[in-house]
Structure 1
Amino acid sequence: MDTGDTAWVLTSAALVLLMTPGLALFYGGMVRAKSVLNMMMMSFGALALISVLWVLWGYSMAFGDDVGGGLLGDPFEFFGLSGLMGTNGLEGGFQSNSLVFTIPSMAFVAFQAVFAIITVALISGAVADRARFGPWMLFAGVWATVVYFPVAHWVFAFDGAESETGGWIANQLLAIDFAGGTAVHINAGAAGLALALVLGKRRGFGREPMRPHNLPLVMLGAGLLWFGWFGFNSGSALSANGQAATVWVTTVAATGAAILGWLVTERFRDGHATSLGAASGAVAGLVAITPACSAVNPVGALVIGLVAGVLCALAVGLKYKLGYDDSLDVVGVHLVGGLWGTLAVGLFATSTATAGVDGLFFGGGVDQLWRQAVGALAVLVFSFVLTWVIATAIQRTVGFRLDVEDEVTGIDQVEHAETGYDLGTLGGGGLVGGGAPRPDARTSTAHGTSEVSA
């Protein structure tokens, strides 16, 4: 056991844990005032529930010895984290009997737990304003068990790390996903799309303005996500070494370039660059560099980030053209950004980086590109189909979607008997939900603009 590596991984786990409250702020500021508490509760609910499931069977399903051709870890091998706690006692400096490379297994458990938590929380942004909290918690538990834990095994379980045999994407396909472009972002983005289609559109979608109610909250959340993401990416080195340092640099480079790409796109498209665009551009860049951060050089990271900013800024408008209501653009940012970042490995990877492979633009041909494409497509289809089935079953049994009358009243009051802001004490007589929309000919939405009739 290396104490420096252990300290870095535990610190990184704490950084990634902070990302879920950061996501709650980011999402919470983007919805209307009457939905802010429910939006934040969906993230906190995921944090609580997945923490429990990870200890009981999640870690074992993801990192137990493979029992199905690279598809699933043994759910019972580490059930309740059995067999991972032993130490050699005081004379050995409490050296762990169970190691993943140079860190105790329990440090690896902690680090991977927070990945599972935030992946589930990310999905909630696709169904803001209209998903009942109880069914959401049921969905979160089933989805994590049926979708995330197996996919984490595919992508993150390397042969000989925790168990003898691991997942097929990591070990047979040899696709590169350093920190979760497939397992986290494509997975959550595809699930968000399926869930949004099953639950249907918000009342007034495309006709009424649904502006973010608190942009400072959005920017604070984005800042916390950016801060925590250095643990997300650099921590995935599982060691305090040169790879962690290189990944830190490629992460910050791509994120900065993505912000600029998003803002320039806004400026040409809408005539102004927005704070919401800056916050969203940061997240888009972070998403895109996540799978590629160990495989590209800093200039490659800049290109990946810049393209991600432009691409995702354009992609968030697809919901108006195609007619699906992805409330907070989980599809436009996480699915599109995750797909781009995963495929970009096959284009911009260089053997001078720590992953040690060459992509198409560095003389490696299409060998790595097709591996990246197969891994991305497999996770996308698996997540979309199973999410559709899970969400449809919940909708037809206990009911997932909020009633129309309750949606008008506001989900915070209906589901939690609370409001985010006690406006009554101000004596203004304003509505908690922000009142009736102004009859603007053109009004701001979550990202960009949309036409609204007077």
Structure 2
Amino acid sequence: MASAITTLAADAPTLSAANTGFMLICSALVMLMTPGLAFFYGGMVRVKSSLNMLMMSFISLGIVTILWVLYGFSLAFGTDSGSLIGWNSDYVGLSGIGITELWDGYTIPVYVFAVFQLMFAVITPALISGALADRVKFGAWVLFTGLWVTVVYFPVAHWVWGAGGWLFELGVIDFAGGTAVHINAGAAALGVILVIGKRVGFKKDPMRPHSLPLVMLGAGLLWFGWFGFNAGSWLGNDDGVGAVMFVNTQVATAAAMLAWLGYEKLRHGSFTTLGAASGAVAGLVAITPSGGAVSPLGAIAIGVIAGLLCAMAVGLKYKFGYDDSLDVIGVHLVGGVVGSLLVGLFATGGVQSDVAGLFYGGGLEQLGKQAIGVFAVLAYSLVASALLALLLDKTIGMRVSEDDEVAGIDQVEHAETAYDFSGAGGGAASRTTAAPAPSAASKKVDA
């Protein structure tokens, strides 16, 4: 992710209509990823939890948007304070920003940068929700989302991308969110599930996805939107770096999907649609931090490694006993760690910066920096998220009752069900007019 830089007045950029339009399109693509994630997660759960899963993603569009405008943008990208947090009173409520005021060093307005970054903030807590399927009170989730973005996401975004943030100043490379989004969300998911515990029937009931077509639709929307997520993170399209990132996004995703399917065939004997969708997402996650630093061949390697390691990692929950419902830890945490660390090996020094990884003559220095970024974000998010979950669990309660969980969280929390076939064949006319007598032919058919 490009960040604010200071330029000489003589070299100050001017507003670019092309880059501004490009970034608005990218922002819309990233926004689409949250409904895409909702479909992806919603298809993976059982019927009785599908609406709740959709809502746990969708509500983030409401909560995080308002908090971002009120103070989130200021905390994440305001003037640095102690390398830990930002603040700029002009960003509070987005009230002190001129409509043509440019983001420092770039050719896009501050408003455009703010809305692009908003979409990242929206999807990150939504990612966490997949680990908590079937068992969390919706009201508690709403409160957790607001607290989590305030205490965890906004500060971490500043560390990684804000001018003066300590990981940014250290030189940690995170092009579009391997640490700030995926490791952050994956570690948070682990912290919360260690507090709230397992679903009723974990490791006993099959808990199969109720709609694989929805999963594939969601994966396709995520893949589509991810081009805005990744290519847009260079904040412009003047020097070709965004184009390289676009290509690497496609390449790594394809490689990871194939690697996951290959592993699945060798291990379990089948090529599954769920494996294809999960492998694609693993590749998208892994290339997010690294794609601006590597070549397309490096992207293939990263995709293959991520596809294999994430496919192996999703089974760890059965070995260690943590109930990660929809494999947020196995895909987002592991994929984010893999992609972030592999920058230190595969960075060519010829794309977003001159920083080279070990395989390109750069030694181990960048790998060490990447490791610091990975484990700092992982540790902070894990501990802070667990404490927030514990606070809510001890006050209002995080989980629905066992009876409500067994009955179905959709009906309990939302008074709705995803699929209602009780009115099949009915309509307004059938409620207001008498049905005609059946013909002899229809009687034969009915028989």
Cα deviations across residues 303-330 of structure 1 (Å, max 9, x unaligned)?
A: 0001111110010000000000000000
Alpha-carbon distance change, 377 to 426 in structure 1, aligned in 2, over 3 angstroms: same
Mapped partners of 2:161, 2:394: distance in 1: 34
SS class of match (1:338): helix
1:8 aligned to which of 15, 19, 22: 22
Cα deviations across residues 283-340 of structure 1 (Å, max 9, x unaligned)?
A: 0000000000110000000000011111100100000000000000000000000000
Q: CA deviation at 1:47?
A: 1.1
In structure 1, stretches of 5+ residues that fail to align are 88-94, 159-165, 428-454
Q: CA deviation at 1:196?
A: 1.1
1:196 aligned to which of 193, 197, 204: 193
Alpha-carbon distance change, 267 to 181 in structure 1, aligned in 2, over 3 angstroms: same
Mapped partners of 1:291, 1:144: distance in 2: 20
Is 1:416–2:414 an aligned residue pair? Answer: yes
Mapped partners of 1:200, 1:425: distance in 2: 38
For 1:193-342, what aligned pairs fall within 5 Å after superposition?
Answer: 193-241=190-238, 242-342=240-340
Aligned equivalent of 2:78? 64
For 1:46-61, what aligned pairs fall within 5 Å after superposition?
Answer: 46-61=60-75
Q: CA deviation at 1:426?
A: 5.5
Cα deviations across residues 53-102 of structure 1 (Å, max 9, x unaligned)?
A: 000000000001012x2100016452111221x24xxxxxxx43665611
Letter in 2 for 1:337: G
Mapped partners of 2:311, 2:89: distance in 1: 44
Mapped partners of 2:122, 2:409: distance in 1: 23
Q: CA deviation at 1:423?
A: 3.4
Q: CA deviation at 1:236?
A: 0.3
1:26 aligned to which of 16, 25, 40: 40
SS class of match (2:86): coil
TM-align CA RMSD: 1.2
Aligned equivalent of 2:399? 401
Is 1:367–2:330 an aligned residue pair? Answer: no
1:108 aligned to which of 109, 113, 121: 113
SS class of match (1:78): helix
Aligned equivalent of 1:376? 374
Between the aligned residues of both structures, percent identity stands at: 61
Mapped partners of 2:132, 2:75: distance in 1: 27
Mapped partners of 2:365, 2:48: distance in 1: 50
SS class of match (1:66): strand
Which deviates more, 53-62 or 233-242?
233-242
Q: CA deviation at 1:197?
A: 1.1
Q: Assess if the C-alpha contact under 8 Å between 1:98 and 1:104 holds in 2.
A: yes
2:96 aligned to which of 83, 90, 94: 83
Q: CA deviation at 1:148?
A: 0.1
1:40 aligned to which of 35, 40, 54: 54
2:184 aligned to which of 162, 178, 187: 187
SS class of match (2:213): helix
Mapped partners of 2:102, 2:223: distance in 1: 35
Is 1:74–2:71 an aligned residue pair? Answer: no
SS class of match (2:85): coil
Cα deviations across residues 256-290 of structure 1 (Å, max 9, x unaligned)?
A: 00000000000000000100000000000000000
Mapped partners of 1:100, 1:57: distance in 2: 23
Mapped partners of 1:356, 1:131: distance in 2: 46
SS class of match (1:234): helix
Q: Assess if the C-alpha contact under 8 Å between 2:102 and 2:108 holds in 1.
A: no
SS class of match (2:200): coil
Mapped partners of 1:379, 1:55: distance in 2: 24
State the TM-score, normalizing by the size of structure 2.
0.90
Mapped partners of 1:186, 1:197: distance in 2: 17
Cα deviations across residues 217-255 of structure 1 (Å, max 9, x unaligned)?
A: 000000000000000000001002311111001110000
Mapped partners of 2:386, 2:105: distance in 1: 35
SS class of match (1:423): coil
For 1:91-102, what aligned pairs fall within 5 Å after superposition?
Answer: 95-96=100-101, 101-102=106-107
Q: Assess if the C-alpha contact under 8 Å between 1:15 and 1:231 holds in 2.
A: yes
Mapped partners of 2:106, 2:396: distance in 1: 45
For 1:123-138, what aligned pairs fall within 5 Å after superposition?
Answer: 123-138=128-143
Q: CA deviation at 1:411?
A: 0.2
Mapped partners of 1:282, 1:301: distance in 2: 13
SS class of match (1:352): coil
Mapped partners of 2:102, 2:251: distance in 1: 39
Q: CA deviation at 1:130?
A: 0.4
SS class of match (1:37): helix
Q: CA deviation at 1:351?
A: 1.2
Q: CA deviation at 1:157?
A: 1.1
Mapped partners of 1:386, 1:75: distance in 2: 25
Mapped partners of 1:351, 1:108: distance in 2: 26
Letter in 1 for 2:276: A
Aligned equivalent of 1:90? none
Mapped partners of 1:132, 1:50: distance in 2: 18
Mapped partners of 1:186, 1:27: distance in 2: 18
Q: Assess if the C-alpha contact under 8 Å between 1:65 and 1:77 holds in 2.
A: no
